[in-house]
Structure 1
Amino acid sequence: MFKHLFKMIWNKKKQNSLLIVEILLSFLVIFAVFSFALNSYNNYAKPMGFNYDHVWAISYNHTLETKNPDSVTLVYQTLLRDIQSLPLVVDAGYASSNIPFGSNHMSTGITTNGLYVDRVNNFFMDENYVNVMGVKMLSGRWYDKGDLASKTNIIVINKSLKDKLFGNTDAVGKFIGDKPENRKKVIGVIDDIKTDGDYQAPTYGLYNKQDTAAYIWMGRILVKVAPEANAAFEGQLYKLMAGRLKKSNIEIEHLDNKLTAYNKFTLVPLIILSIVAAFLIINVALGIFGVLWYNINKRRGEIGLRRAVGAPGSSVSAQLVYEAMILATLSLIIGAFFAVQFPLLNVFDLPASVYLFAMLFAVVFIYLLVLICSLYPGKQAAAIYPAVALHEE
Structure 2
Amino acid sequence: MFKHLFKMIWNKKKQNSLLIVEILLSFMVIFGVFSFALNSYNNYAKPMGFNYNHVWAISYNHTLETQNPDSVTLVYQTLLRNIKSMPQVVNAGYHSGNVPFANNHNTTGLTQKGVEVTGINNFFADENYINTMGTTMFSGRWYNKTDPVIKSEVIVVNKMLAEKLFGKADAVGKMLGDNVKTRQRIIGVINDIKTDGDYQRPAYALYNRHDTASYKWMGKILVKVTPDADAAFEGKLYKLMANTFKNSNIEIEHLDNRLVAYNKFTLVPLIILSIVAAFLIINVALGIFGVLWYNINKRRGEIGLRRAVGAPGAAVSLQLVSEAMILATLSLIIGAFFAVQFPLLNVFDLPASVYLFAMLFAVIFIYLLVLVCSLYPGKQAAAIYPAVALHEE
TM-score normalised to structure 2 length: 0.99
Please name the residue that 1:369 is paired with. Answer: 369
CA distance in 2, matches of 1:30, 1:17: 20
* Counterpart mapping for 1:110-259 below 5 A: 110-259=110-259
CA distance in 2, matches of 1:281, 1:151: 64
* Counterpart mapping for 1:53-64 below 5 A: 53-64=53-64
CA distance in 2, matches of 1:151, 1:35: 48
CA distance in 1, matches of 2:302, 2:332: 29
Please name the residue that 1:382 is paired with. Answer: 382
* Counterpart mapping for 1:279-298 below 5 A: 279-298=279-298
Deviation at 1:186, TM superposition (A): 0.5
Residue 330 of structure 2 corresponds to residue 353 of structure 1: no
CA distance in 2, matches of 1:342, 1:185: 38
Please name the residue that 1:72 is paired with. Answer: 72
Deviation at 1:281, TM superposition (A): 0.1
Deviation at 1:379, TM superposition (A): 0.4
Deviation at 1:151, TM superposition (A): 4.3
Change in Cα spacing, 1:150 to 1:78, as seen in structure 2 (3 Å) is farther
Deviation at 1:152, TM superposition (A): 2.6
Q: Which amino acid aligns with 2:310?
A: G
CA distance in 2, matches of 1:135, 1:105: 20
* Counterpart mapping for 1:326-337 below 5 A: 326-337=326-337
Secondary structure of 1:157's counterpart equals: strand
Superposed CA offset, 1:7-44 (max 9, x none): 11111111111111100000000000000000000000
CA distance in 1, matches of 2:279, 2:112: 49
Q: Which amino acid aligns with 2:248?
A: S
CA distance in 1, matches of 2:378, 2:188: 67
Deviation at 1:103, TM superposition (A): 1.5
CA distance in 2, matches of 1:57, 1:34: 35
Superposed CA offset, 1:61-111 (max 9, x none): 100000001100000000000000000000000000000001210111111
Superposed CA offset, 1:264-290 (max 9, x none): 000000000000000000000000000
Superposed CA offset, 1:331-374 (max 9, x none): 11111111111001000000111001100100000000000000
Please name the residue that 2:44 is paired with. Answer: 44
CA distance in 2, matches of 1:130, 1:25: 49
Contact 1:149 1:211 in 2 (8 A): no
Please name the residue that 2:344 is paired with. Answer: 344
CA distance in 2, matches of 1:170, 1:331: 49
Residue 310 of structure 2 corresponds to residue 307 of structure 1: no
Residue 254 of structure 2 corresponds to residue 271 of structure 1: no
CA distance in 2, matches of 1:55, 1:312: 71
Q: Which amino acid aligns with 1:355?
A: Y
Secondary structure of 1:120's counterpart equals: strand
CA distance in 1, matches of 2:198, 2:96: 21
Secondary structure of 1:310's counterpart equals: coil
Superposed CA offset, 1:214-262 (max 9, x none): 0000000000000010111101100000011111110000000000110
Deviation at 1:149, TM superposition (A): 4.4
Q: Which amino acid aligns with 1:236?
A: K
Deviation at 1:148, TM superposition (A): 3.4
Secondary structure of 1:186's counterpart equals: strand
CA distance in 1, matches of 2:148, 2:392: 94
- Count of equivalent residues: 393
Change in Cα spacing, 1:57 to 1:86, as seen in structure 2 (3 Å) is same
Deviation at 1:150, TM superposition (A): 3.8
CA distance in 2, matches of 1:268, 1:181: 44
CA distance in 1, matches of 2:224, 2:215: 20
CA distance in 2, matches of 1:3, 1:58: 72
RMSD: 0.7
Identity %: 80
CA distance in 1, matches of 2:146, 2:213: 16
Secondary structure of 1:216's counterpart equals: coil
CA distance in 1, matches of 2:26, 2:67: 62
Q: Which amino acid aligns with 1:152?
A: S
CA distance in 1, matches of 2:88, 2:145: 24
CA distance in 2, matches of 1:151, 1:209: 14
Secondary structure of 2:181's counterpart equals: helix
Q: Which amino acid aligns with 1:339?
A: A
CA distance in 1, matches of 2:86, 2:111: 44
Residue 92 of structure 2 corresponds to residue 99 of structure 1: no
Secondary structure of 2:197's counterpart equals: coil
Which stretches in structure 1 are left out of the alignment for 5+ residues? none
Q: Which amino acid aligns with 1:9?
A: I
Please name the residue that 1:317 is paired with. Answer: 317
CA distance in 2, matches of 1:340, 1:189: 36
Residue 3 of structure 2 corresponds to residue 3 of structure 1: yes
Q: Which amino acid aligns with 2:184?
A: K
